[in-house]
A and B are shown apart, each in its own frame.
Chain A
Amino acid sequence: MAGSASTGESSRETRTVAIDAEVLAGKRFAYQEDMSLVEDIDLLAATPGPDINWLEDITLLEEDGVPAVFDRYSNSFLKIYFDIPSGREDEIARKVLIKHLTDGNSYGITLKDIHCKFPQVELGPWVDESAVVGTDWRQPVLEGWTAPAGH
């Protein structure tokens, strides 16, 4: 498990105290290692309004000693492994995050199709054309269970 810190000496498995986007996805993404894959992203076009809007609050952070950006849509850190040019830290962090979201790789997005109760766009507001999910939510049925009397 990537980006871990042991929480018990006798644990057979490595446990982590951080929520890591790689762990949630089960893989690392190419844009975490290659800056050229995010260089062309237009942050103004990717956000509502006349400036970068919500990305104003997104800055480069650090997790497990590695530069990282926080993905609020999955409550996880997305680590960045390439060298970030000095003075462009926040810009690059924002571009990596937008790439992660627009590619549909944020863990919260992968849960939408199954769990959305109400119609919404699958890829969120970052993508113009996106499938609508949550149009046919049905109450889960636990086999063999019956509601108590009066309910």
Chain B
Amino acid sequence: MPGSGSRSGVSYDARGLVEPHADMPDNIEVDGSRARFDATDLTIRQINMALRKLIYNDGIADVTVLNPASKHSLAVGILKRCRIHFEGSPGWFACGLIDGPEVTINGRVGWSVAENMMSGVVTIERSAGSLTGAAIRGGDLIVKGDVGARTGIDQKGGTIIVTGDVGINTGFMMQRGRQIICGNAGMNLGDSMYDGSIYVAGKVRSLGVDCVPGEWTDADTELIERKFRVHNLGEPPTFEKFVCGQQLHNYDALEPSERKLVIH
């Protein structure tokens, strides 16, 4: 791909891609509508190139990536219904900006998994780092372990389920959506949240500014039971619900104006 040089000697193409090694991997095994490849010796760009080619161009609906080896930004920006399996642990920003894929991760993940996810399902079999589900817009994100700080920061939709504990500032500035936390929550749960619901089965170290206990409804029971059933999470524990106290922000009043373009 033609590039333009810079003083640093790094070559950028018109789209800002910098990683020099951009050859398509030659170790992809295809079997009908399924494919798999070993990422051990591949660069991040090669892995993502292979995923896009298989899913977009070759009509592959089910891809397995072996040995992701904590490489960052894997399976980012996939905008099609498909299944992706990671046999191992991706690094930071895995599965960000996706719209449609159903992803299973048979390992851990670093920061910001499924950041800005629009739709899809991401299931992580072990623990996740901080900023899990940051700014998620839709879909289901399931972590079968503990997560770090700021889970679902700026969450605008979707459902985050954590079977273990969550760290400090979980649900910080949450604007919409649902968090289901089966373990304990760290300090400042739901700090400055606008809207949405946070369900916690364990102990809450402290509530953040304007986060208050909410009234339990039949819709909450239906949601919890359905999510546990469809994701095979067993029998749900008893949860307490937390919502926005609407003293700091009132998202019901804010939202309509946020969605309009004002022409002066």
Q: Which residues of A contact B (CB under 8 A)?
A: 7, 15-19, 47-51, 53-57, 70, 72, 75, 77, 117-121, 124-125, 128, 132, 137-139
| A-B pair number, CB within 8 angstroms | 97
Known contacts A48-B81, A48-B100; is-contact A121 B119 (Cβ 8 Å): no
- Further 13 A-B residue pairs, CB within 8 A, beyond A7-B262, A48-B120, A75-B259: A19-B259, A48-B100, A49-B102, A49-B140, A54-B119, A54-B139, A57-B137, A57-B157, A72-B137, A118-B77, A119-B52, A124-B80, A137-B14
The reply to whether B260 and A17 form a contact with Cβ atoms under 8 Å apart is yes
SS of A interface (majority): loop
Taking the complex as formed, is B205 at the interface, i.e. its CB lies under 8 A from any CB of chain A?
Answer: no
- Which B107-134 residues sit within 8 Å CB-CB of chain A? 118-121
The reply to whether A57 and B158 form a contact with Cβ atoms under 8 Å apart is yes
CA distance A124 to B99 in the complex (A): 8
Q: Which residue of B lies closest to A70 (CB)?
A: B259
Taking the complex as formed, is B177 at the interface, i.e. its CB lies under 8 A from any CB of chain A?
Answer: yes
The reply to whether B138 and A121 form a contact with Cβ atoms under 8 Å apart is no
Q: Of B119, B176, B259, which contacts A53 at CB under 8 A?
A: B119
Q: Which residues of B contact A (CB under 8 A)?
A: 14-15, 52, 56-57, 77, 79-81, 99-102, 118-121, 137-140, 157-159, 176-177, 226-227, 230-231, 259-264
B98 to chain A, nearest CB (A): 9
Known contacts A53-B120, A121-B79; is-contact A15 B139 (Cβ 8 Å): no
Q: Of B15, B80, B157, which contacts A125 at CB under 8 A?
A: B80
Q: Of B15, B120, B261, which contacts A118 at CB under 8 A?
A: B15
The reply to whether B261 and A125 form a contact with Cβ atoms under 8 Å apart is no
The reply to whether A138 and B14 form a contact with Cβ atoms under 8 Å apart is yes
Q: Of A17, A50, A57, A128, which contacts B138 at CB under 8 A?
A: A57
Please indicate the chain A residues that have their CB under 8 angstroms from the CB of B52 in the complex: 118-119
Q: Which residue of A lies closest to B55 (CB)?
A: A121
The reply to whether A17 and B121 form a contact with Cβ atoms under 8 Å apart is no
Q: Can you pick out 16 interface pairs between chain A and chain B where the beta carbons lie within 8 Å of each other?
A: A7-B263, A7-B264, A16-B263, A48-B120, A48-B121, A51-B226, A53-B120, A54-B138, A56-B158, A56-B159, A72-B118, A118-B52, A118-B77, A119-B56, A124-B79, A139-B14
Known contacts A15-B263, A124-B99, A125-B100; is-contact A51 B157 (Cβ 8 Å): no
